[in-house]
A = this chain, B = another copy of it.
């Protein structure tokens, strides 16, 4: 099957809305000219509400990881004590970046599939009172856990001066987050998840408190030096040539989000999460994460009666349905369905129905139609209550 028929449900990259595709192929413009300044000045104020902040949202040209690294190198010095919550590949990556940059990292290691508890971070802070920063992942893409980063941030702020730095790569745009209210100091994301764009653009928002640390920090840095991004943004520019086609696309993404309404965007993600999870339960498919800790953007299934890779292979071959496998030690044990960005309840009904067909082929024991009906019921109940 060629890719025109693919149903992309990995937790990023995600499908691009057709109007965003069209917006990206506008004629190229100079990055130091007035048209580019106008574009950046139109875009950046509109991104703030998605981050729950009144701070500027800086635009970096790079993968999401470039923004994670920016968070590390701008706020820390070699030897600094920091705490990192590691409950999957992306928590591990944040910690690994910290270690690469010679920080003294205290890891809070959790079993994959679990969310961190506020008390665990509090204990770590008590054990390491010199901690300068706490690194958190909002949605841990490798498991589908949504860590309670807002609660953690509030608690850290109450008992410590440590900065709270949050990886929002697979959550921003698909889950509400109140950066300012909860006292998050640095929040980053990438373009290729709930932001409905191709990969290549990264975003970073910074609190006043974090700017003080950043401005005072003499660690060597250049491409990812957030000070230059802040300075240039004042003039509607970026320090280096930005990913212009993605900026063109971003403007249309913002149109789409505002047309739907940001609250409704978040509610749609919540609904897709619930539809997916109830369908899995009805199909006797164990979920890796409990309801409360589960992400609104990605759901991990841990099948008991077949190999997860076998499922992925069949779903891909027969329907072009692309879901992600498990990472590291979870390979073969789980598969992960992305439901974020350009994805709506109708897509959930579609993949649940496909899922049932593949389960049949794998001789999994379930009642045909039960998953679809469960998803339909969640949908119907939601719209009865909500509208």
Contact of A61 among B12, B66, B69 (CB under 8 A): B66
Count how many chain A residues have C-beta atoms less than 8 Å from C-beta atoms of the other chain.
58
Interface positions of A from 302 to 357, Cβ below 8 Å from B: 322, 324
Q: Give CA–CA (A324, B22) in the complex, Å.
A: 27
Lowest 9 A-B CB distances belong to which pairs? A200-B243, A63-B240, A198-B245, A21-B25, A199-B241, A65-B240, A10-B30, A200-B200, A69-B223
A residues 81-95 near B (Cβ < 8 Å) are: none
Q: Which residues of B contact A26 (CB under 8 A)?
A: 3
Residues of A whose CB lies within 8 Å of any CB of B are: 3-4, 6, 8, 10, 12-16, 21-22, 24-33, 35, 61-66, 69, 78, 96-97, 100-102, 190, 192, 198-201, 220-225, 239-246, 322, 324
Q: Are A65 and B223 in contact (CB under 8 A)?
A: yes
Please state if B4 and A28 are interface contacts (CB–CB under 8 Å): no
A-B contact pairs, 14 of them (CB 8 A): A13-B28, A13-B244, A15-B27, A24-B24, A30-B324, A61-B62, A61-B199, A63-B242, A66-B223, A69-B222, A78-B220, A199-B244, A200-B200, A200-B245
B13 touches A27 (CB 8 A): no
Q: Which of B100, B244, B245 is the one whose CB lies under 8 Å from A221?
A: B100
Known pairs A27-B6, A35-B3; A220 contacts B61 (CB<8 A):
no
Q: Is the CB of B29 within 8 A of A223?
A: no
Q: How far is the CB of A72 from chain B (nearest CB, A)?
A: 8
Residues of B within 8 A of A61 (CB): 61-63, 66, 199-200
Partner of A25, one of B3, B25, B69, B97: B25
Please tell me if the beta carbons of A241 and B101 are within 8 angstroms of each other in the complex. no
B222 near A224: Cβ-Cβ < 8 Å: no
Closest to A193 in B: B241
